[in-house]
A and B are shown apart, each in its own frame.
Chain A
Amino acid sequence: MEKQSQTLSQRMFRALMRVLPFDFRTNYEGEMEGVFREQQREVKERGGALDALRLWRETIAGIFTMAPREHWQILQDDCRYALRMMRRNVWFTAIAVATLGLGIGANTAIFSVVHAVLLRPLPYTQAQQLIQVRQTEKKVGVDDLSFSVQEIADYRKQNRTLAGLVEYHSMSFTLFGHGEPERVRTGVVSANYFELFGVQPLLGRTLVAEDEKPGAPAVLLLSYEYWKNNFGADADIVGKTFEMNDKVHTVVGVLPPVPQYPDENDVYMATSACPFRSSPMHTENRDMRMMEVFGRLKPGVTVAQAGADMATIAAGLRAAYPKYYPGNVGYAAEASPLKEELTRTARPTLLLLLGAAAFVLLIACANVANLTLSRMARRERELAVRSALGAGRSRLLRQLFTESFLMAMASGLLGLLLAYGSLELLVDFAGRLTPRAREIHLDAGVLLFTLGVALGTSLIFGTLSAVFSRANLTSSLKEGSAGAAGSGRRQSRVSSVLIVGQVAFSFMLLIGAGLVVRSLIKMQHTDAGIVPQRVLAMRTTFNWSKYTDDAASKVVLQKLLERVKAEPGVVSAAVSSRYPFEPEAISDGPEAVSFTFAIDGRALEPGEALPVSTYAAVSPDYFAALGIPLKAGRLLAETDREKAPLVAVINEAAKRKYWPNEEALGKRMSPDGGQHWGTIVGVVGDVREFGLNHAPVPEFYVPQAQNAQPATLIVRTVAEPRSMARALTRAVHDVDPQTAVTHVLTLEQARYESLASPRVTASLLGIFAGLALVIATAGIGGIMALMVSQRVREIGIRMSLGAAPARILQMVLSRGLLLCGLGIALGMVGAVALRDLVKSLLFEVPATDALTFAGVGLTLLAAAALASYLPARRAAGIDPNEALRAE
């Protein structure tokens, strides 16, 4: 018992000692324990339990008050020493910090995007409960069918899993009463839209149920940005009135600066205020679809349950309205988390880039590790001497870790600066992928990440130095040069492994970048099917409330075209509901402008899907203005008027898909279940409407005169088209001064812009791969130089035994190339294994593209040859006599 309690208190005392630095313990632990034991014995002799407690209290307090000072002392010593060593090896330090800094910077930058876009919850109350509801027609390839007014009512009424269901669509209206007529992007939403998302107004109120009642006074809610930029953040804005759609709209509130989803809008109005949404055409027709639908899950309900609920409702609708949901389209409904919806396009690109950045950091780490190893070889003596002078091993390890820690912190700081500098560029880049881009900043999470990465790297090469020093410390003093030679071999083996790894990772990165760049080049050289030079597109939005019926709008469009064609310098002019590379068309995809139709005389097999195609309403000169060639039949003509027989021109993709082995001309089709029939009168060339990387889809061109649609003016000019913009705007205003002219863009600009996202991805990957190549090449060069300097004696012997300098040159070169070749082989395996990661970003280039693989392999070999050549030449130039004498 006695013995046991003694060992217990001894154990407790030893545990207490652990708070002291190792060195201190090594020095004094035994003695302190002895003193403590004496004290305890004394207390026991006196026999006071209180005394025993007091002894413990004083002992604990004593150790805890002195421990920080001891630690601090050692840290100070280490830092001072480390800084001295870093100053003494300025070049080593600079190269290591720069290399790691680049790696950490790349990671910090990409992580800040990943963090904001993919990791952080959406900035809404209980955002995980928010879902998007989607209708699909899988059999005709439609993943995201908009909702009609009646469908929204059905889903709202029948669902059992949602606490709320709101609708959204965005339109552009012209706003009067604030200077020039202004086109404003307007979000048209349910009254409880903002309540559902949990957004509180900055000023005034959001929309309430009263606002949505038919005939309610029209009200507007301003977005924070619009309020700030266009009204100078006027605090008295609530209550001001504007005219829109021939109605007075009163501002009732301003939104806070939250990111707006799904689109950025200038203003918001209730559904009843939208002239289209509230028109009988929309309220009475189940298939007039243009809304998106969001919901909030009831507490405890999962997304899957909500999805099943929506699917049940869809099944009910299919049964109740077979006319609108024919079996051959495969109508259904599903629910998915809102966050997933908003980041869907961004995810693969961002993860790929994060992976690439991680590769760069790994390569940088390997390089610094190699630098560290070669420096350790030189410091071996110094460390051995210090060890012999009484520095404990752990003291030395702590010293080495302090050095790598300081270096990593410096690199981390550099990395942060680099990331900070590139932030604006990144936000711009991410903006093309997700509406969450504006949430990107370097916040605490990113700082923590950077700190973690820096600490991780310091741990990696700190450990490496430590392992290396542990292996060698004891031997090097005792055995002199023999020990050093042994450790040199071991070190060069480790270095070789690191080099092979570096080359392998560089190879994979270069392959990724090479494939993406090749895709980009292919895209750029893809024939879009139009002649984009000297074409200007400008969206012209009439004050629709003035042109209430089809006839009136057709007249004004006709007048507009006549006026524009009269303008000097205009070759041809047309109006169209959309045009190739229109940014909105690209982001919305072909589904947004698709329709299903029946072909005259062709019965569908049971379960066969209805034919589906995109369409555009164009005026006759559209083809001439864009340079779309006629392949068969005729183009649309001025004679295809409202009262004339309905006609359509199709593209070759539609011909291939629906009339592959027969004449399409003269065939009839109906978009509305047989109420109206149109005749195909011509076939034109395919156009890559939805981006160069998007294969042409079937397309129907119908006359604007027979299907009036909101229009964009398309003008082919004699001279540089942008110089005509002002004159053309004047021409539009001559016809109707209340017309807003926006989105003025040349088709070449639109084409260029359409490639912005792949271009940025390719540039970023290219930069990463370039960095990797430079770092790896420098690594090979460095390690070959080290090898040569370590083997001077051996080379000297070989030469004195008759080896020709050319033989030596070849020996060093082939060693460098061998390491590189091994790395390439490994990298090839890796690149093939990882091919799925990059696939989604490629365009007409296979992920295992032989040309890219060969090109990258040759580049790396050439770089390795170049990097090994200088050390090899040095080796070949060694004078055997001197080399032997030097030892």
Chain B
Amino acid sequence: MNKKRETESFLPLTPAMFHILLALADGEKHGYAILKEVARRTEDKVRLSAGTLYGNLARLESAGLIAESGKRPEVVLDDERRRYYLLTAFGRDVAVAEAERMEEALVQARVKKLFRKPKLA
């Protein structure tokens, strides 16, 4: 019960936060990968800049929704050391709660005939 309340205190998430959590849902990623994945998934509709990305990462990290992965980056072409981020269990709970919240809203919108048919069956 307590945990649920804690989860809900983050809702609703901002679109940027939600997309970052989504991007991490299937595995740890470094910052640029998150940015690319969000852009790809939303067909460039959600474009994160370096600032918004790391501002959100910082907040998510301090809130315990994501964490830095222990995995060290391999040395890539440029010698930048990247950090990898992973979704914590708590972060997953929050993301799920947000998805549920959205679905509920969707259902109600449908009842009120606010949109025609689900695009994806």
Q: Mark B16-58, 1 if CB is under 8 A from A, else 0.
A: 0000000000000011100100000000000111111111011
- Given known pairs A24-B58, A66-B55, A70-B55, the reply for A31 and B31 (CB within 8 Å) is yes
**How far, in whole Å, are A59 and B82 apart by their CA atoms in the complex?**
19
Q: Is the CB of B58 within 8 A of A27?
A: yes
Task: Judge if B78 is at the interface, Cβ distance under 8 Å.
Answer: yes
Task: Judge if B80 is at the interface, Cβ distance under 8 Å.
Answer: yes
Q: Mark A26-64, 1 if CB is under 8 A from B, else 0.
A: 011011111111110000000000000000001101111
Task: Judge if A840 is at the interface, Cβ distance under 8 Å.
Answer: no
> Which of chain B's residues has its CB closest to A23's CB?
B58
> Which of chain B's residues has its CB closest to A59's CB?
B49
Interface residues on B, range: 20 to 34
Task: Judge if A631 is at the interface, Cβ distance under 8 Å.
Answer: no
The distance from the CB of B76 to the nearest CB of chain A, in whole angstroms, is 10
- Given known pairs A34-B32, A35-B35, A70-B58, the reply for A62 and B51 (CB within 8 Å) is yes
Q: Is the CB of A35 within 8 A of B52?
A: no
Contacts of B35 in A (CB 8 A): 35, 39
**How far, in whole Å, are A528 and B1 apart by their CA atoms in the complex?**
91
Task: Judge if A65 is at the interface, Cβ distance under 8 Å.
Answer: yes
Q: Is the CB of A28 within 8 A of B58?
A: yes
Task: Judge if B83 is at the interface, Cβ distance under 8 Å.
Answer: yes
- Would you list which residues of chain A between 444 and 485 have a CB under 8 Å from chain B? none
Contacts of B81 in A (CB 8 A): 30
Q: Is the CB of A31 within 8 A of B51?
A: no
Contacts of B47 in A (CB 8 A): 58
Q: Is the CB of B83 within 8 A of A31?
A: yes
Contacts of A39 in B (CB 8 A): 32, 35, 50
The distance from the CB of A691 to the nearest CB of chain B, in whole angstroms, is 72
**How far, in whole Å, are A34 and B79 apart by their CA atoms in the complex?**
10
The distance from the CB of A14 to the nearest CB of chain B, in whole angstroms, is 12
Q: Is the CB of B80 within 8 A of A32?
A: no
Contacts of B31 in A (CB 8 A): 31-32, 34-35
CB within 8 A of B50: which of A24, A35, A64, A67?
A35
Interface residues on A, range: 20 to 34
**How far, in whole Å, are A882 and B81 apart by their CA atoms in the complex?**
56
Q: Is the CB of A34 within 8 A of B82?
A: yes
Task: Judge if A80 is at the interface, Cβ distance under 8 Å.
Answer: no
**How far, in whole Å, are A47 and B31 apart by their CA atoms in the complex?**
23
**How far, in whole Å, are A39 and B47 apart by their CA atoms in the complex?**
11
The distance from the CB of B59 to the nearest CB of chain A, in whole angstroms, is 8
**How far, in whole Å, are A35 and B83 apart by their CA atoms in the complex?**
11
The distance from the CB of B37 to the nearest CB of chain A, in whole angstroms, is 13
Contacts of B48 in A (CB 8 A): 62
Q: Is the CB of A34 within 8 A of B49?
A: no
Q: Mark A601-631, 1 if CB is under 8 A from B, else 0.
A: 0000000000000000000000000000000
Task: Judge if A84 is at the interface, Cβ distance under 8 Å.
Answer: no
> Which of chain B's residues has its CB closest to A61's CB?
B49
Q: Is the CB of B53 within 8 A of A35?
A: yes
Task: Judge if A69 is at the interface, Cβ distance under 8 Å.
Answer: yes
**How far, in whole Å, are A69 and B83 apart by their CA atoms in the complex?**
23
Q: Is the CB of A38 within 8 A of B32?
A: yes
Contacts of B54 in A (CB 8 A): 24, 28, 31-32, 35, 66
**How far, in whole Å, are A568 and B52 apart by their CA atoms in the complex?**
97
CB within 8 A of B78: which of A28, A34, A58, A65?
A34
**How far, in whole Å, are A66 and B51 apart by their CA atoms in the complex?**
7
The distance from the CB of B31 to the nearest CB of chain A, in whole angstroms, is 5
- Given known pairs A24-B58, A70-B58, the reply for A34 and B52 (CB within 8 Å) is no
Contacts of A63 in B (CB 8 A): 49-51
- Would you list which residues of chain A between 56 and 103 have a CB under 8 Å from chain B? 58-59, 61-67, 69-70
The distance from the CB of A704 to the nearest CB of chain B, in whole angstroms, is 92
**How far, in whole Å, are A236 and B13 apart by their CA atoms in the complex?**
69
Contacts of A24 in B (CB 8 A): 54, 58
Contacts of A33 in B (CB 8 A): 50, 80
The distance from the CB of A71 to the nearest CB of chain B, in whole angstroms, is 12
Contacts of B50 in A (CB 8 A): 32-33, 35-36, 39, 59, 62-63
The distance from the CB of B115 to the nearest CB of chain A, in whole angstroms, is 30
**How far, in whole Å, are A178 and B84 apart by their CA atoms in the complex?**
93
**How far, in whole Å, are A31 and B80 apart by their CA atoms in the complex?**
8
Contacts of B80 in A (CB 8 A): 30-31, 33-34, 37
Q: Mark B57-76, 1 if CB is under 8 A from A, else 0.
A: 11000000000000000000
> Which of chain B's residues has its CB closest to A32's CB?
B50
**How far, in whole Å, are A37 and B83 apart by their CA atoms in the complex?**
16
**How far, in whole Å, are A65 and B50 apart by their CA atoms in the complex?**
12
The distance from the CB of A222 to the nearest CB of chain B, in whole angstroms, is 67
> Which of chain A's residues has its CB closest to B34's CB?
A35
The distance from the CB of B55 to the nearest CB of chain A, in whole angstroms, is 3
Contacts of A70 in B (CB 8 A): 55, 58
Contacts of A27 in B (CB 8 A): 58
Contacts of A30 in B (CB 8 A): 80-81
Between A34, A61, A70, the greatest number of chain B beta carbons within 10 A of the residue's beta carbon is seen for A34
Q: Is the CB of A66 within 8 A of B83?
A: no
**How far, in whole Å, are A619 and B54 apart by their CA atoms in the complex?**
96
Q: Is the CB of A62 within 8 A of B58?
A: no
> Which of chain B's residues has its CB closest to A58's CB?
B49
The distance from the CB of B51 to the nearest CB of chain A, in whole angstroms, is 3
**How far, in whole Å, are A63 and B35 apart by their CA atoms in the complex?**
15
Contacts of B30 in A (CB 8 A): 31
Q: Is the CB of A32 within 8 A of B51?
A: yes
CB within 8 A of A66: which of B32, B52, B82?
B52
- Given known pairs A24-B58, A70-B58, the reply for A31 and B82 (CB within 8 Å) is yes
**How far, in whole Å, are A28 and B56 apart by their CA atoms in the complex?**
12
**How far, in whole Å, are A372 and B114 apart by their CA atoms in the complex?**
65
The distance from the CB of B68 to the nearest CB of chain A, in whole angstroms, is 10
Contacts of A61 in B (CB 8 A): 49, 51
**How far, in whole Å, are A38 and B35 apart by their CA atoms in the complex?**
11
> Which of chain A's residues has its CB closest to B54's CB?
A28
Contacts of A64 in B (CB 8 A): 51
CB within 8 A of B51: which of A34, A38, A59?
A59
Between B48, B53, B55, B83, the greatest number of chain A beta carbons within 10 A of the residue's beta carbon is seen for B55
CB within 8 A of A62: which of B32, B52, B82?
B52
The distance from the CB of B113 to the nearest CB of chain A, in whole angstroms, is 37
The distance from the CB of B17 to the nearest CB of chain A, in whole angstroms, is 12
**How far, in whole Å, are A37 and B82 apart by their CA atoms in the complex?**
13
**How far, in whole Å, are A69 and B59 apart by their CA atoms in the complex?**
10
The distance from the CB of A73 to the nearest CB of chain B, in whole angstroms, is 9
> Which of chain A's residues has its CB closest to B55's CB?
A66
Q: Is the CB of A62 within 8 A of B49?
A: yes
Between A31, A33, A69, the greatest number of chain B beta carbons within 10 A of the residue's beta carbon is seen for A31
The distance from the CB of B13 to the nearest CB of chain A, in whole angstroms, is 16
> Which of chain B's residues has its CB closest to A63's CB?
B51
**How far, in whole Å, are A70 and B54 apart by their CA atoms in the complex?**
11
Q: Is the CB of A65 within 8 A of B82?
A: no
**How far, in whole Å, are A65 and B48 apart by their CA atoms in the complex?**
12
**How far, in whole Å, are A66 and B57 apart by their CA atoms in the complex?**
12
**How far, in whole Å, are A27 and B55 apart by their CA atoms in the complex?**
11
The distance from the CB of B36 to the nearest CB of chain A, in whole angstroms, is 8
The distance from the CB of A347 to the nearest CB of chain B, in whole angstroms, is 56
- Given known pairs A28-B58, A70-B55, the reply for A37 and B49 (CB within 8 Å) is no
> Which of chain B's residues has its CB closest to A38's CB?
B32
The distance from the CB of A791 to the nearest CB of chain B, in whole angstroms, is 44
The distance from the CB of A88 to the nearest CB of chain B, in whole angstroms, is 25
**How far, in whole Å, are A365 and B2 apart by their CA atoms in the complex?**
50
**How far, in whole Å, are A774 and B48 apart by their CA atoms in the complex?**
61
The distance from the CB of B28 to the nearest CB of chain A, in whole angstroms, is 14
Sample of 5 more A-B contacts, CB < 8 Å, known A27-B58, A59-B51, A62-B55: A31-B82, A32-B51, A39-B50, A62-B48, A65-B51
19 inter-chain pairs at a CB distance below 8 angstroms, sorted by A residue, are A28-B54, A31-B30, A31-B80, A31-B83, A32-B31, A32-B50, A32-B53, A32-B54, A34-B78, A34-B82, A35-B31, A37-B78, A38-B32, A59-B50, A61-B49, A62-B48, A62-B53, A63-B50, A64-B51
Query: Which 6 A-B pairs have CB atoms at the shortest separation, nearest pair first?
Result: A62-B51, A62-B49, A66-B55, A63-B51, A34-B80, A62-B52
